[in-house]
Amino acid sequence: MINKNNTKQNTIWIGIDISKRELEIHTYESSLKLPKSISNTKSSISNLIKKLSKNELIHCVFEATGGYEKLLLSMLQNEGIKASRVTPSLPRNFAKAQGILSKTDAIDAKVLTDYGMKFTPRETAKIDPVIEEIQALQKYRRHLNDELHRERMQLEHTLPKNIQTMVKSRIKTLQKQVEKVTEMMIQLKVKSPEINEAVKLLTATKGVGDKSALSLLAAMPELGELTNNQASSLAGLAPFNRDSGKYRGRRMIYGGRKEIRQALYMAALSASRYNPILKEFYQRLQANGKPKKLALIAVMRKLLSHLNLLMKRHLQETEAAK
């Protein structure tokens, strides 16, 4: 049972359930006199922030909602108000554990408040505008690759010759667009000295190219600010047990940001062939009976830990030099 008066370090938690058009708001601090809901617009959020900015103990928590939360997050961060954007599965699983099966916007907002009070999620880091551009390009590239996959699947079927010609033409067009978007991503790094420096640092590791480095930075802006265990969990690469009594199940990975795993996959594949340390690690795992897929996941996890450590040292050195 949540103690409503228990606020760690006196933090006032505010849960916000976000949809395309509205924000549902919940807090146990009635003295703030916050509205129960507002429209998801700049003017409405601005009015909300005027109330929130009067108290430095406020910490807002909300789910990642496919982009509908970006306006709120950026406006809160610009005003110096603490905000945590959390993976949707976390508060949902928390609600189930509390026996809360009903789902409405008001209930979801309350669950987010309780989740914040119980787990004190870390504050979401402010994202470099260049990273946001890279994220948008990355999302569009995934869309193009999905289209490319569908078109290639068409060629596996018997098609009239004129349709085959159209499909092949479409595939060529999509391939050129993927290459163009990838080139745009790589060119963006020069717009930010910090990102350019980070890419140089990450690509010094054999197996990590510009595309993988940029994709990883876009998918995981927190790189270098986390422990290795936190980084693995965020990527969905931390193995968990499935044991019961005498039964010992296969270790599995679950959840996390698939974009991080996608960024790491090609880098790990290359590193398992050309990076002497990771190549030896990969081969040793296979020699000990580890299936190729699981061995590659282990390489991804080890590579991520290494890159996270590199970024951590870089950030510490940069901070010390100020």
Residue 43 pLDDT level (bands cut at 50, 70, 90): very high
For residues 69 and 161, give the distance between their C-alpha atoms in angstroms, rounded to a whole number. Answer: 47
**Alpha carbon 103 to chain centroid distance?**
24
Among the residues of 155-249, which ranges form H helices? 161-188, 193-203, 210-219, 228-235
Residue 200, domain member (yes or no)? no
- Vertex 245: Cα angle to 298 and 229 (nearest 5): 30
Q: Tell me, what DSSP letter sits at residue 285?
A: H
Whether 35 is covered by a domain: the verdict is yes
How does DSSP assign 87-132, residue by residue?
Answer: -THHHHHHHHHTT-----HHHHHHHHHHHHHHH-PPPPPPPPHHHH
Same domain for 231 and 164?
A: no
The answer, yes or no, to whether residue 247 has pLDDT greater than 50, is: no
State the pLDDT at residue 135.
87
Range of the domain at 163: 129-191
> 25: which strand partners?
16
The three-state secondary structure class of 36 is coil
Query: Token pair for residue 259?
Result: 């974009």
Residue 198, domain member (yes or no): no
Long-range contacts of 18-22 (CB under 8 A, 24+ apart): 18/62, 18/63, 18/65, 18/68, 18/69, 18/72, 19/65, 19/68, 19/105, 20/68, 22/105
CA distance linking residue 75 with residue 186, whole number of Å: 28
pLDDT digit string, tens, across residues 223-237:
998 889 888 888 888
The DSSP output letter for 26 is E
User: Is the pLDDT reported for residue 322 higher than 80?
Assistant: no
In a domain, 75, yes or no: yes
Number of structural domains in the chain: 3
Same domain, 281 and 217: yes
What's the DSSP call for residue 58? E
The confidence band for 145, taking pLDDT boundaries of 50, 70 and 90, is very high
Q: What is the DSSP string of 225-269?
A: SS-HHHHHHHHT---B--EETTEEPPPB---S-HHHHHHHHHHHH
Domain finish residue from 160, 191, 222: 191
Q: How far is CA 37 from CA 13, 110, 313, in A?
A: 16, 12, 43
- Residue 255 pLDDT > 70: no
Residues 74 and 135 in one domain: no
Of 119, 139, 168, the last residue of a domain is: 119
- Amino acid 237: pLDDT: 87
Is residue 3 assigned to a domain? Answer: no
For 237: left if phi > 0, alpha if psi spans -120 to 50, otherwise beta; the answer is alpha
User: By C-alpha distance, which of 101, 86, 110, 119 is closest to 16?
Assistant: 110
- For residues 187 and 88, state if they share a domain: no
Using DSSP's 3-state secondary structure scheme, residue 157 falls into: coil
pLDDT at 226: 85
How confident is the model at residue 15, as a pLDDT? 97
Q: Classify residue 196: in a domain, yes or no.
A: no
Higher-confidence position of 319 and 267 = 267
d(CA 134, CA 215): 8
